[in-house]
């Protein structure tokens, strides 16, 4: 049981990243809403066992956007490993196009801190890049500027997906391309009620900055992740599902909140 939980935890945080940070594809043809204020609390579980909670906020205007994602391990998982993270992104908007200005992520696993930061100029070039502690370049090669300039960060990708675009993504360490296969709208029940939702099966292709171990894991095949957006003008994340360790990892919206503190997970 211990080994099972530890394997599930490793897959869990990969899945949380997939859920909000690595999805890419042509999601919707219609324009994204001009303004949106959304704060949602999510519960992640595996075979009925609660593993983590996550909170997501999305704020958009005609000209700007800001996002924040926080996650924290919960329940029995904390007997084996603890994880928490707090990530934010902001930038400028022009119609259905999103141009990042700043991306920053703080995360802790077993109380060991990590810090990632990217700053973009108005032309999309990365002018500041922080990875703490620094990467071992004998294991992870640096991504050339010719590839990473003009990319977007993982959180901004969520808005690009909602608007129907497939940009290249850089997270301060790795660079990848992604795609999504759209399914037909379905009725979906989450912890906060019934919804009409559009499912997408997500996948990605590594481009640069991956270690040999990460490439080998990718070549063995990543589990398919199905991600669900609400089938309405808001297009908010509702649910995800991924097979993990002879079970199924599920993430579900549990409630919407008016403020960040109302849904706070840590």
Q: How much is the pLDDT for 27?
A: 46
Q: Look at phi and psi of residue 75 and say left if phi exceeds 0, alpha if psi is from -120 to 50, else beta.
A: left
Burial of 258: CB neighbours in 10 Å, binned 0-12, 13-18, 19+ = exposed
Q: How much is the pLDDT for 16?
A: 53
Cα dihedral sign for 150, 156, 160, 165? Answer: positive
How many Cα neighbours within 13 Å face the side chain of 50?
11
- Record the pTM: 0.86
Q: How much is the pLDDT for 109?
A: 80
- Largest Cα–Cα distance in the chain? 51
Give 121-129 contacts, CB < 8 A, sequence gap 24+: 124/99, 124/149, 124/150, 124/151, 125/149, 125/150, 126/170, 129/172
203: containing domain: 2-263
Q: What whole-number distance in Å separates Cα of residue 2 and Cα of residue 19?
A: 25
Asked whether 42 and 53 are in contact (CB, 8 A), the reply is: yes
Q: What whole-number distance in Å separates Cα of residue 250 and Cα of residue 11?
A: 12
Q: What whole-number distance in Å separates Cα of residue 163 and Cα of residue 38?
A: 16
Phi, psi of 237 (to 5 degrees): -65, 130
Q: DSSP code of 139?
A: T
Cα dihedral sign for 224, 236, 89, 57? Answer: negative
Lowest-confidence pick of 67-71, 140-144, 239-243, 257-261:
239-243
Q: Look at phi and psi of residue 180 and say left if phi exceeds 0, alpha if psi is from -120 to 50, else beta.
A: beta
Gyration radius from the chain CA atoms: 18
Total structural domains in the chain?
1
Residue 3 clears pLDDT 70, i.e. is over it: no
Query: Could you report the per-residue pLDDT of 148-181, keeping only the tens digit for each?
Result: 999 999 899 888 877 777 788 999 999 998 777 8
Q: How much is the pLDDT for 21?
A: 52
Q: What is the mean pLDDT of residues 249-266?
A: 90
Q: What is the mean pLDDT of residues 131-151?
A: 93
């Amino acid at each position: 049981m211990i080994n099972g939980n530890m394997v599930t935890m490793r897959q869990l945080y990969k899945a949380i990243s997939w859920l909000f940070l690595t999805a890419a594809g042509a999601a919707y043809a219609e324009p994204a809403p001009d303004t949106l204020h959304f704060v949602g609390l999510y519960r992640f579980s595996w075979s009925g066992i609660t593993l983590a909670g996550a909170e997501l906020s999305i704020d958009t205007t005609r000209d700007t956007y800001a996002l924040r994602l926080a996650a924290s391990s919960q329940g029995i998982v904390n007997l084996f490993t603890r994880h928490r993270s707090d990530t934010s992104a902001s930038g400028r908007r022009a119609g259905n196009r999103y141009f990042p200005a700043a991306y920053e992520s703080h995360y802790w696993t077993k109380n060991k801190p990590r810090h990632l930061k990217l700053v973009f100029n108005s032309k999309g070039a990365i002018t500041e890049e922080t990875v703490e502690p620094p990467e071992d370049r004998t294991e992870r090669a640096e991504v050339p500027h010719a590839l990473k300039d003009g990319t977007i960060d993982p959180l901004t990708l969520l808005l690009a997906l909602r608007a129907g675009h497939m940009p290249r993504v850089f997270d301060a360490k790795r660079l990848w391309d992604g795609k999504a296969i759209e399914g037909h709208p379905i009725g979906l029940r989450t912890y906060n009620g019934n919804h009409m939702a559009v499912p997408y099966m997500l996948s990605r292709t590594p481009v640069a900055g991956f270690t040999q171990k990460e490439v080998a894991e990718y070549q063995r095949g990543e589990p398919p992740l199905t991600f669900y957006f609400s089938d309405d003008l808001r297009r908010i994340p509702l649910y995800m599902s991924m097979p993990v360790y002879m079970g199924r990892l599920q993430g579900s919206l549990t409630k919407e909140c008016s403020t960040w503190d109302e849904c706070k997970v840590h």
